[in-house]
Structure 1
């Protein structure tokens, strides 16, 4: 059974020169550490760490990597920004589907990815809170093949 985790970045500042440059707030850093600690106690295996190139997702991924010591490798996912196409992102994740991985990304993309994985289409998925992680299991990688196993807040 394959496992993947989708995570929304931590709370970010409201103002920056551009959306891609928004940094985590102090609360966002603290909350992300707490959630990463829960992930570390929840999941015993290795994970490949994937993240959006935006600053807040990169900072969130760095914190996850510090806390979760069993990171196999780290990759920037160019198709994991807030405005990217969910199907294109899901296709870009396929090479990592043979490994357990965590993707740190943004709303609304993360909710759309969850809907595709669980339902195979744009069936509405509930939004992710900042720093929230959802775990999915699937026998094979593909649309509608995932089942939510847990949520880590």
Structure 2
């Protein structure tokens, strides 16, 4: 199983709620640069947070890759979701190669948990940073961090 984890691009600092913050023009450019690293990868599913900036990020990637399936929106990828919950949910996708589009602090803590078995060793993830994890099963401390790319 390959799991790519993409933090959303730069978002506007304010909106009525955090969930409604939209990507900036810079954020869209960052996402497209990260999407280029996904070209030719065997993605079978794009799973995203319901927050607007994550949905916009996922849609930009979907279009850039020519990915025809719909984006799967799930409640367990929001900024305050627990990394253990995400790993538990990923078990249902263990035979697939998935892209998760989410937020900090979740993405950094999730990578730390997956690779080191601890959320205390979080991976730094800037806006539109893209990480690739590989494993037979999505278990804490059992996944290998293959690559991290930061949008510049």
1:107 aligns with 2:104: yes
- Tell me the CA shift for residue 73 of structure 1: 4.9
* Matching of residues 37-52 of structure 1 within 5 Å: 37-41=36-40, 43=41, 45-52=42-49
- Tell me the CA shift for residue 37 of structure 1: 1.5
Secondary structure in structure 1 of the residue aligned to 2:45: strand
- Tell me the CA shift for residue 84 of structure 1: 1.4
- 1:44-88 per-residue CA deviation (whole Å, 9 max, x = no partner) reads x23310000000000000001001224655211201111112211
- Tell me the CA shift for residue 19 of structure 1: 0.2
Larger strand proportion of the pair: 1
TM-score (norm 2): 0.92
Root mean square deviation, CA, Å: 1.5
Whether contact under 8 Å (1:46, 1:71) holds in the other structure is no
Aligned residues: 150
TM-score (norm 1): 0.91
Dislocated runs of 4+, deviation >2 Å:
69-74
Match of 1:21 in 2: 20
Secondary structure in structure 1 of the residue aligned to 2:119: coil
Change (3 A) 1:39 1:152: farther
Aligned equivalents of 1:126, 1:46: Cα separation in 2: 22
Secondary structure in structure 2 of the residue aligned to 1:40: coil
Structure 2, unpaired ranges of 5+: none
- Tell me the CA shift for residue 97 of structure 1: 2.0
Report the more deviating stretch, 138-147 or 101-110: 138-147
Aligned equivalents of 1:90, 1:6: Cα separation in 2: 12
